[in-house]
């Protein structure tokens, strides 16, 4: 008796390991999605992708200067209001602009704070745009080097989502999160530092 041999065009058990493995007759792999918050490792990976250490240092310096300028605005405003009080803590009869120095310092600190925000925003745009461009180029290069089997088993929509939604998140959301995070962290650090200098018991409480 002659044994029936599979035809050359029909895939045998060894030619389709995915089918033999899951038994469902599909070769499409499941997409793994990671859920969670953006951590320090993610920011480090973004910084490595930018390949611009000098620009990253400038972004950190600008992010540090912004909350310091914000505290300077509040400090100059308190000095301006204190200048309108007498020695007993009551409102003096003099006007708010009788001594122009506190008002000038307040307006100057406000302008400096606005300039710091402008510089920080511009640097963040350039920095994260560079990161996004480098990551997009590496992702495109890795995709083009894949085999035809990978393109056959990977849906086109999945690839487009990686190049669309993920890159859009990199372009829009990460800079916004970084600016809000840096400003909030700077406020907390400045409060702790000045509280430790002016009133050390406040740190214990």
Q: What is the pLDDT of residues 121-147, one digit of tens each?
A: 888 888 888 888 888 888 888 888 888
Q: Provide the angle, in degrees to the nearest 10, between the axes of the packed helices 53-83 and 174-198.
A: 50
Task: Supply the pTM of this predicted model.
Answer: 0.64
Q: Nearest 10 degrees: CA dihedral of 41, 43, 49, 54? A: -120
Q: Provide the angle, in degrees to the nearest 10, between the axes of the packed helices 100-144 and 174-198.
A: 140
Q: What is residue 181's predicted lDDT score, i.e. its pLDDT?
A: 81
Distance CA(85)–CA(100), nearest Å, equals 15
Conformation bin of residue 29: beta by default, left when phi > 0, alpha when psi is -120 to 50: beta
Q: How far is CA 140 from CA 29, 82, 116, 145, in A?
A: 20, 60, 36, 9
Q: What is residue 19's predicted lDDT score, i.e. its pLDDT?
A: 40
Residues of the chain with pLDDT under 70: 1-40, 86-89, 92-96, 202-203, 205
Tell me how far apart the 2 most distant CA atoms of the chain are, in Å: 120
């Amino acid at each position: 008796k002659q044994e029936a041999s599979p035809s050359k065009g029909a895939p045998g058990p060894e030619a389709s390991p995915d089918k033999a493995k899951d038994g469902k007759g599909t070769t499409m792999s499941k997409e793994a999605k990671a859920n969670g918050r953006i951590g320090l490792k993610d920011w480090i990976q973004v910084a490595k992708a930018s390949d611009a250490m000098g620009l990253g240092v400038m972004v950190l310096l600008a992010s540090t200067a912004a909350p310091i300028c914000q505290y300077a605005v509040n400090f100059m405003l308190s000095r301006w209001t204190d200048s309108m009080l007498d020695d007993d803590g009551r409102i003096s009869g003099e006007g708010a602009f009788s001594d122009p120095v506190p008002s000038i310092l307040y307006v100057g600190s406000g302008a400096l704070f606005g300039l710091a925000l402008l510089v920080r925003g511009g640097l963040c745009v350039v920095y994260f745009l560079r990161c996004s461009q480098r990551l997009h180029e590496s992702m495109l290069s890795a995709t083009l080097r894949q085999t035809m089997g990978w393109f056959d088993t990977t849906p086109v929509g999945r690839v487009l989502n990686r190049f669309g939604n993920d890159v859009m998140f990199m372009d829009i959301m990460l800079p916004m999160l970084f600016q809000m995070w840096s400003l909030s962290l700077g406020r907390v650090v400045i409060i702790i530092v000045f509280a430790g200098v002016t009133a050390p018991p406040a740190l214990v409480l």
